[in-house]
Amino acid sequence: MKKTHKLYKYFLLSFVVILLDQAVKLLVHYNMDPGLAGEIKVLGSWLKIHYVLNPGMAFGLKLGSVYGKLILTLFRLLATVGIAYYMSLLVKRKAHTGLVWCVALILAGAVGNVVDSTFYGVFLNNAPAGSPTPWFHGQVIDMIYLDIWEGHLPQWLGGQYYALWPIFNIADSAIFLGVAVILVMQRRFFKDAEDKKQDNETNKDTTTPSTGTTAN
């Protein structure tokens, strides 16, 4: 019961993030025009709300081929199941709570984009033209536009024009935040797991009775 209660709070975080992600996406879809026509500047030209449909991966990346989207959606479905199972294992093994919170964020982000990919092609009719079926071909709604930098690289880097302006959503942000914190805090997160494993092995050795024999 205690394990179930602990696991519940992490799934609750995932659920709240998923609800927030979907609420924002639907608000954008029903109240904004796509592209520059409906763009809202939040912090000048640096941070904007910009409605765009993403048929591929996170941060505006795309997959080619007719079945690329289907493969990506199926992969996301499998990934969400794997992440949820991994999170339950972490709770069972009493892993660092910070690690579990991060995995909960990653799970929320994965589910949030899976909902778009699986259902939006049907219910929002946003599947790309030529898709074999609207199911599993929905386009992900992105809206957070960071216009970080654009210009020409130094000559020693080729001097080519380069633009760095990712467009993403709350689900992408949850995944990025979860992964980033794990990378930064990995020594602490996984050191605790190793320490607990060593403590358990030590306790097991000290509680194991000796099997020596006595002479008659």
Active site residues: 142, 172
Sign of CA dihedral 91, 96, 97, 99: negative
C-alpha 141/C-alpha 28 separation (Å) is 8
- CB–CB of 16/170 below 8 Å? no
9: phi > 0 → left, psi -120 to 50 → alpha, else beta; which? alpha
C-alpha 92/C-alpha 96 separation (Å) is 11
Angstrom distances, CA of residue 75 to CA of 37, 41, 82, 111: 34, 35, 10, 12
- CB–CB of 138/122 below 8 Å? yes
Least Cα distance to 18 among 125, 127, 155, 111 occurs for: 111
